[in-house]
C-alpha cells in the first residue's frame, strides 16, 4: 500500500501538499523553530480537532495536540517526504491519542467492552426498537453533544479512531488502514462494530432531531 | 471472501456493486430490518458530522507559544541536514586532552563506586520489571511503558505494528 | 602554559592510582566467573502469546498461569495461547537472539546492572523486530518473578503479546 501524497481531505484544501510546505519542513529539519512554528500554525486546528474527537475533552486535547507536535519536532529529521507532512503528523497524533486512552483505561481499571458488550448484537440483528418521540420535544444541542461524548467514551481507542476517521474526517478505507497500520478488512470490521455500538446508544438522539 | 461485517459496512457506505451487491441484498431479504439499520447508520454519520465536531482551538497563538517554550526547554530535533560548519577548529589539542582526561577520571570514579568487584547477583529483588528507556524505530511507532502496581505488571505498549492474520501463527 | 599541558598527564596518573582494577595486570579469568557477574544458570525466556476473547476460553499455558488473571484485567482478553517460545542462557558478554516465532525476534544483550535497584536482576538492551522491521529498542531491567509484557500488533480477533522473563 503506497502512502497517499494528499492530506486527509476535509474539503477545504487543494489536493497535494502546498509548494512551500517541503521548504518549511526542510528548514525545520535544520533546527529552524520559526519554520516549525509556521507548520504548527497551519495544522493546529486540525490537530486539535483530531485529538478532541478521540478524547472528547478540550483541555486534554490541547495538551495532547501539543505533545503530538513536540513528538513531530523531535522526530522531524526522520520525515522523508514520502507522504505529506500532515499525513505523517496525523499518524503521530493518532498514536498519541490512542496511547493516552489506553493509559487512562489501565489507570481507571475500566475495560472497553467492544467485544464482550456485543454478545447481544448479532451481526445482522436490528439494534434497538424504534423509539417514540418524547412529548417534551427536541433535545438541545448541548445535550446532543453530551450524549455523543458519552457514547464515544464507551468505544475502544481503535473503534473511536475508525469512526472519527470515517464519519468525521471522511477518509476512505484504504486511507484509514494506512493511518492505523492495519488491513482494510480490519477497518471495515471495526467500523461495523463501532457503528452498531453507537447506534444502540444514540438511536433515540438521531431519530429525534 | 469478505466477512458479513465487512460486507455490511461496504453496503452501508454504498461501496458494494454489481453481483456482490445483488448477492448481499438477497442474503438480507431474510432480515427486513436491515434497511432500517442502514438508514440508521447513515443518520448516525450525519449526527456525528453535525454535532460531533470539535470546538475551535481557543487562544491559538498561545498554543504556538507554549510549543515554542517547550521546544526551547527540551532537546533539539534530530537534524537531517548536516549542521553548518561554524568555521575553525573548535577544540584545540590541549582542550581535547583536558576533556579526555576528565572523562577518564569520571569513568574511573564511577567504576570504583558503582561496580561491585567480583560479587555475583544473589540478593533477591522485589522491584517491578522496568523499561528504563525505549526508542521507537520510526515515527509511526509509539512505545509507552505502563506500570500496573495493583496487578504487578509492567507493559511496554506499542502501537503502529503491522497487523497479522491469525493464520500465520503456529499455536501450541 | 606548562601547567595546562601537564595537568592532563597528572590526571591520568591520578586515575591510575585510584582504579586498582585498571592498574592490575590482566589476570587469567577463572573458569566459572564471567565478567558481567551473571548468576550461573539464569536464562531469559520469551514467549509469543495470542490473546483473544472466547466464549469458552481454554486454560492458559503453564508459563502464563500465574499471570493470566492479571493479563485479563489489563488487556481485557480471556484466553491466552502460546504461539511460540524461545529461551537462551544469559550471557554477560555477548549479544544473542531470541526468536519465539518466525514473525518476531529479539536481539538481547545483557549488561551488568550497576544500579542498586537492579540487584538481583539484569539490565538488558533489547531490540524487537517484526520480520525484518525493527520496532523498538529498549533498556530494560528484569528479574525472576517480574516479567515484561510487550503489547504487540492486532492479530486475528485479538492481539499479540510478547512476554520476557528471567528464569533461574
Q: CA angle, A106 as apex, A103 and A107 as ends, to 5°?
A: 85
Tell me how far the alpha carbon of residue B123 is from its chain's centroid. 36
Of the candidates C154, B31, B44, B49, the one whose C-alpha atom is nearest the C-alpha of residue A185 is C154
Q: Of the residues A55, A86, A110, which one is the last residue of a structural domain?
A: A110
Interface of B with C in 104-123 (CB under 8 A): 104-105, 108-109, 111-112, 114-123
Quick one: closest CA in B to C142, which residue? B129
State whether C149 and B153 contact (CB < 8 Å): yes
Strand extents, DSSP E, C18-157: 43-52, 79-89, 95-101, 104-111, 122-130, 133-142, 148-155
A199 — phi, psi (to 5°)?
Answer: -60, -40
Is a pLDDT exceeding 80 seen at residue B64? yes
Confidence of residue A122 (pLDDT cuts 50, 70, 90): very low
Low-confidence ranges of chain C (pLDDT < 50): 21-37, 114-117
What is the rounded distance in angstroms from the CA atom of residue C120 to the CA atom of residue B124?
5
Is a pLDDT exceeding 50 seen at residue B165? yes
**Domain-located, residue C107:** yes
State whether B114 and C114 contact (CB < 8 Å): yes
State whether B56 and A45 contact (CB < 8 Å): yes
**Domain-located, residue A136:** yes
Is a pLDDT exceeding 90 seen at residue A39? yes
Domains contained in chain C, number? 1
Q: What is the reported pLDDT for A190?
A: 92
Q: For chain A, which chains pass the contact test of at least 3 CB pairs under 8 Å? A: B, C
Q: What is the reported pLDDT for A4?
A: 33
C107 touches chain B (CB under 8 A): no
The DSSP output letter for C143 is B
Q: Which residue has the higher pLDDT, B11 or B120?
A: B11
Write out the three cell numbers for B37.
439499520
Please tell me whether residues A126 and A104 are part of one structural domain: no
Please tell me whether residues A92 and A60 are part of one structural domain: yes
Write out the three cell numbers for B21.
451487491
Q: What is the reported pLDDT for B119?
A: 45
**Domain-located, residue A4:** no
For chain A, what percent of residues have pLDDT higher than 70? 75
Cβ atoms of B41 and A126 closer than 8 Å: no
**Domain-located, residue C10:** no
Please tell me whether residues A124 and A175 are part of one structural domain: yes
Q: What is the reported pLDDT for C18?
A: 59
Please tell me whether residues A70 and A131 are part of one structural domain: no
Q: Of the residues A110, A143, A175, which one is the last residue of a structural domain?
A: A110
Note down the domain range covering A155.
114-209
Q: Which of B36-40, B48-52, B91-95 has the lowest mean pLDDT?
A: B91-95
Cβ atoms of C165 and C148 closer than 8 Å: yes
C70 touches chain B (CB under 8 A): yes
Q: Summarize the confidence of residues B31-37 as an average pLDDT.
A: 77
**Domain-located, residue A3:** no
Please tell me whether residues A142 and A99 are part of one structural domain: no
Note down the domain range covering C82.
43-167
Tell me how far the alpha carbon of residue A26 is from its chain's centroid. 27
Mean per-residue pLDDT of chain B: 78
State whether C146 and B116 contact (CB < 8 Å): no
**Closest approach of C53 to chain B, Cα-based (Å):** 14
Determine the residue among C51, C76, C155 to mutate to test chain A binding: the one whose Cβ has the most chain A Cβ atoms within 10 Å.
Answer: C76
State whether C149 and B141 contact (CB < 8 Å): no
**Closest approach of A145 to chain B, Cα-based (Å):** 6
Q: Of the residues A80, A110, A140, which one is the last residue of a structural domain?
A: A110
**Domain-located, residue A42:** yes
Is a pLDDT exceeding 90 seen at residue A72? yes
C134 touches chain A (CB under 8 A): no
**Domain-located, residue C149:** yes
Q: Summarize the confidence of residues B105-130 as an average pLDDT.
A: 64
**Domain-located, residue A154:** yes
Of A106, A115, A181, the CB nearest to C53: A115
C82: which strand partners? Answer: C49
Write out the three cell numbers for B163.
497487523
Confidence of residue B84 (pLDDT cuts 50, 70, 90): very low
Q: Summarize the confidence of residues B128-138 as an average pLDDT.
A: 80
At A47-67, the pLDDT tens digits run: 999 899 888 888 889 999 999
Mean per-residue pLDDT of chain A: 77
Q: Summarize the confidence of residues A85-94 as an average pLDDT.
A: 89
CATH of the domain at A207: 1.10.10.10
Q: What is the reported pLDDT for B127?
A: 56
CATH of the domain at A79: 1.10.1740.10
Q: Which residue has the higher pLDDT, B98 or B82?
A: B98
Interface of A with B in 139-168 (CB under 8 A): 141, 144-145, 148, 152, 163, 167-168
pTM of the shown model = 0.46
Is a pLDDT exceeding 90 seen at residue A34? yes
ipTM: 0.72
Please tell me whether residues A143 and A166 are part of one structural domain: yes
B2 touches chain A (CB under 8 A): yes
Domains contained in chain A, number? 2
**Domain-located, residue A143:** yes
State whether A33 and B57 contact (CB < 8 Å): no
C80-97 CB burial, b ≥16 within 10 A, e <16:
bbbbbbbebebebeeeee
**Domain-located, residue C87:** yes
Amino acid at each position: 500500500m503506497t502512502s497517499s501524497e494528499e492530506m486527509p481531505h476535509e474539503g477545504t484544501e487543494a489536493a497535494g501538499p502546498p509548494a512551500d510546505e517541503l521548504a518549511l519542513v526542510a528548514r525545520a529539519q535544520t533546527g529552524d523553530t520559526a519554520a516549525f512554528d509556521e507548520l504548527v500554525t497551519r495544522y493546529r486546528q486540525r490537530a486539535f480537532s483530531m485529538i478532541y474527537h478521540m478524547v472528547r475533552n478540550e483541555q486534554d486535547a490541547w495538551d495532547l495536540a501539543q505533545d503530538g507536535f513536540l513528538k513531530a519536532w523531535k522526530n522531524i529529521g526522520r520525515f522523508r517526504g514520502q507522504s505529506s507532512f500532515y499525513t505523517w503528523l496525523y499518524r503521530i497524533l493518532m498514536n498519541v491519542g490512542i496511547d493516552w486512552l489506553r493509559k487512562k483505561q489501565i489507570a481507571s481499571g475500566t475495560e472497553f467492552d467492544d467485544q464482550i458488550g456485543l454478545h447481544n448484537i448479532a451481526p445482522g440483528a436490528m439494534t434497538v426498537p424504534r423509539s417514540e418521540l418524547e412529548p417534551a420535544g427536541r433535545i438541545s444541542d448541548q445535550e446532543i453533544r453530551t450524549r455523543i461524548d458519552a457514547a464515544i467514551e464507551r468505544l475502544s481507542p481503535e473503534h473511536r479512531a475508525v469512526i472519527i476517521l470515517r464519519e468525521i474526517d471522511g477518509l476512505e478505507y484504504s486511507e484509514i488502514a494506512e493511518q492505523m497500520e492495519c488491513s482494510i478488512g480490519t477497518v471495515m470490521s471495526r467500523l461495523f462494530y463501532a457503528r452498531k455500538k453507537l447506534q444502540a446508544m444514540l438511536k433515540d438522539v438521531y431519530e429525534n432531531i | 471472501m469478505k466477512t458479513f461485517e465487512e460486507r455490511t459496512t461496504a453496503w452501508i457506505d454504498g461501496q458494494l456493486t454489481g453481483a456482490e451487491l445483488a448477492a448481499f441484498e438477497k442474503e438480507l431479504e431474510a432480515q427486513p430490518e436491515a434497511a432500517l439499520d442502514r438508514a440508521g447508520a447513515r443518520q448516525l454519520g450525519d449526527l456525528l458530522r453535525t454535532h460531533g465536531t470539535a470546538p475551535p482551538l481557543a487562544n491559538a497563538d498561545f498554543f504556538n507559544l507554549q510549543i515554542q517554550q517547550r521546544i526551547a526547554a527540551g532537546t533539539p530535533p534530530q537534524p537531517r541536514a548536516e549542521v553548518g560548519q561554524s568555521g575553525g577548529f573548535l577544540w584545540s589539542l590541549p582542550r581535547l586532552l583536558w576533556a579526555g582526561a576528565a572523562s577518564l577520571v569520571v569513568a574511573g570514579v564511577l567504576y570504583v563506586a558503582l561496580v561491585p568487584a567480583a560479587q555475583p547477583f544473589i540478593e533477591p529483588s522485589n522491584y517491578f520489571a522496568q523499561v528504563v528507556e525505549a526508542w521507537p524505530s520510526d515515527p509511526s511507532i509509539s512505545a509507552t511503558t505502563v506500570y500496573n502496581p495493583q496487578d504487578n505488571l509492567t507493559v511496554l505498549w506499542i502501537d503502529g505494528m503491522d497487523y497479522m492474520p491469525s493464520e500465520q501463527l503456529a499455536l501450541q | 602554559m606548562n601547567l595546562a599541558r601537564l595537568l592532563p598527564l597528572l590526571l591520568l596518573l591520578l586515575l591510575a592510582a585510584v582504579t586498582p582494577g585498571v592498574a592490575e595486570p590482566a589476570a587469567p579469568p577463572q573458569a566459572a566467573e564471567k565478567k558481567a557477574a551473571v548468576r550461573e544458570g539464569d536464562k531469559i525466556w520469551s514467549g509469543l502469546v495470542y490473546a483473544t476473547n472466547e466464549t469458552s476460553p481454554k486454560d492458559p499455558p503453564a508459563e502464563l498461569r500465574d499471570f493470566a488473571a492479571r493479563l485479563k484485567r489489563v488487556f481485557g482478553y480471556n484466553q491466552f495461547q502460546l504461539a511460540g517460545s524461545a529461551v537462551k542462557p544469559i550471557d554477560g558478554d555477548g549479544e544473542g537472539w531470541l526468536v519465539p516465532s518466525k514473525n518476531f525476534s529479539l536481539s538481547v544483550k545483557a549488561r551488568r546492572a550497576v544500579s542498586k535497584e537492579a540487584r538481583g536482576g539484569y539490565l538488558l538492551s533489547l531490540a524487537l523486530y517484526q520480520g525484518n522491521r525493527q520496532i523498538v529498542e529498549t533498556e530494560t531491567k528484569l528479574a525472576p518473578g517480574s516479567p515484561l509484557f510487550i503489547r504487540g500488533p492486532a492479530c486475528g480477533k485479538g492481539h499479540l503479546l510478547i512476554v520476557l522473563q528471567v528464569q533461574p
